[in-house]
Structure 1
């Protein structure tokens, strides 16, 4: 957890962070092809499952679909999942630290 102090760093590591691409006067973003490909594959599978079964994910995709297209919305969903994962890892680390301190105080 100490490697990823922010969700942005975790997204970059997994390859889910968009990279700016400059061509003539257009500014657009594409998916980073580097990073940990296994984690990226897990994120892709998770985003497909979320897209099929989770109403919140469907609402997010429906909101961004007209502007971003199918691939762009999947990219947005993967980035959102990274934020959720990072938040859960941070909370778990804080809870673990709390239990360690309580154990040391009791001893």
Structure 2
């Protein structure tokens, strides 16, 4: 998304595509991704930085709540077959190709 307008419960987003711009109308709530050019960051002035240093921090205690995640099942992955060494060098190529075709059926 390179441009975004939201009004009430509707939104209009523009995104760049090959050869133009696509305009998409959508209902809220919605999930969107954005490009770098959507927003221009604001850099604070020195006066604002100094004023922020003088403001008191309001520290509040945190009470951990119940987690929203429930684990339904947990199973270990299936055991892997042992690997085997076919041979060495160019002489092993034929045997390796045969095993890949007949046993593994990947070729």
- TM, length-normalised to structure 2: 0.19
Structure with the larger helix share: 1
Higher relative contact order (CA 8 A, sep 6+): 1
Larger-Rg structure:
2
Structure with greater proportional strand content = 2
